[in-house]
Structure 1
Amino acid sequence: MRSPQATGTTPEQAERPLLAGGLLVATGLADVLSAYGTLRSGPFVVLSGGGLYPVDVTGWAWLHLVVGTALAVAGLAAVTGRRGAALVAIGCAVLALTVNLLMLPYAPIRVVLVTAVDAAAIRLLLRHRRATGGAG
């Protein structure tokens, strides 16, 4: 990887993909661990006026597992600074953000925290792309 001076970027701009990639890896691993825990447990039980109803979220857990793995790999790719890695990371982060928001009723605290971190990583990657002229 070239030095920040050779590419015409400041050290803060050079660190953005590193921080964003680390954030994406962390949230990807959080999704993977959450999905694994959901797969190992039974269905959720919903209490309503008519009684108790089991809600099976196994399909959502498998989706979280796949998206979380893809997000962690995309975060690692964003750290490398290769051309197009930031776009792939942004796409995976938007997908993960969408899937997380769909699980909001089942895990609201985790979803809000992970969504905020994903949004921060997306912002960092977009600012880095703008600062470097769209390369990377």
Structure 2
Amino acid sequence: MASTSSGPSVAPAAPSSTHHPFRIGGTAFAAVLMIFGGVMAILEGIAAIAKNDVFLATRDYLFRFNLTGWGWIHLALGILIVVAGCALFTGAAWARVVGIVLAGLSALANFLWLPHYPLWSLVLIAIDVFIIWALCANPYQGQEKEGV
């Protein structure tokens, strides 16, 4: 004999990716790092614009750039990164994509900034890598969804 159930069969719901604590924590981590890294880039830009003698300019480096021009680039990029970091707290999907793109541009700009301030550049590159990792990480990778 087969038994029948009288109520509707409900499969357990898959956890929502927007409310999962690891997803929220990773996004918040990226947002805080973006705001911190953006403020550091703003300070770097202001220092390069205000006083060109603060930074070391090596002669035998493969690429050379004007410090004042790079100061404006870092200042603008830093402002954009801070704004995108604040937008990440709202949970906007576009902010994740913009954050990844801006963190990549910041890492590239800081790589080119290595001859002028190596330690600061390496710290900001590391922060940008962590931002990209935190925004791209998927806590459900490799797990089955939809009640399986």
* TM-score of the aligned structures, taking structure 1 as reference length: 0.79
The 3 A distance-change label for structure 1 pair 131 and 80 is farther
Q: Give me the whole-angstrom Cα distance separating, in 2, the residues matched to 1:87 and 1:123.
A: 12
Match of 1:91?
Answer: 101
Amino acid at match of 2:16: T
Partner of 1:26: 36
Aligned length: 122
The 3 A distance-change label for structure 1 pair 107 and 6 is same
What does 1:6-21 align with in structure 2 at a 5 Å threshold?
Answer: 7-8=16-17, 10-21=20-31
Residue of 49, 58, 76 corresponding to 2:68: 58
Q: TM-score under structure 2 normalisation?
A: 0.73
Greater per-residue helix proportion: 1
Sequence identity percentage:
27
Contact map agreement 1:24 1:71 (CA 8 A) in 2: yes
Q: Matches of 1:14 and 1:45 in 2, distance apart?
A: 40
Amino acid at match of 1:105: P
SS in 1 for 2:93: coil
Provide the rounded CA distance (Å) in 2 between the counterparts of 1:65 and 1:37.
10
Equivalent of residue 86 in structure 2, options 33, 58, 76: 76
Q: Give, in angstroms, the shift of residue 56 of structure 1.
A: 4.1
Alignment of 1:102-113 (within 5 A): 102-113=112-123
CA deviations on 1:26-63 (whole Å, 9 max, x unpaired) are: 000000011101111135565769xxxxx741001000
Residue 51 of structure 2 is matched in structure 1 by 41
CA RMSD across the alignment: 2.5
Task: Please state how far the C-alpha of 1:83 moved relative to its aligned partner.
Answer: 2.2
Structure 2 stretches lacking a partner, 5+ long: 1-13, 142-148
More strand per residue: 1
Larger-gyration structure (1/2):
2
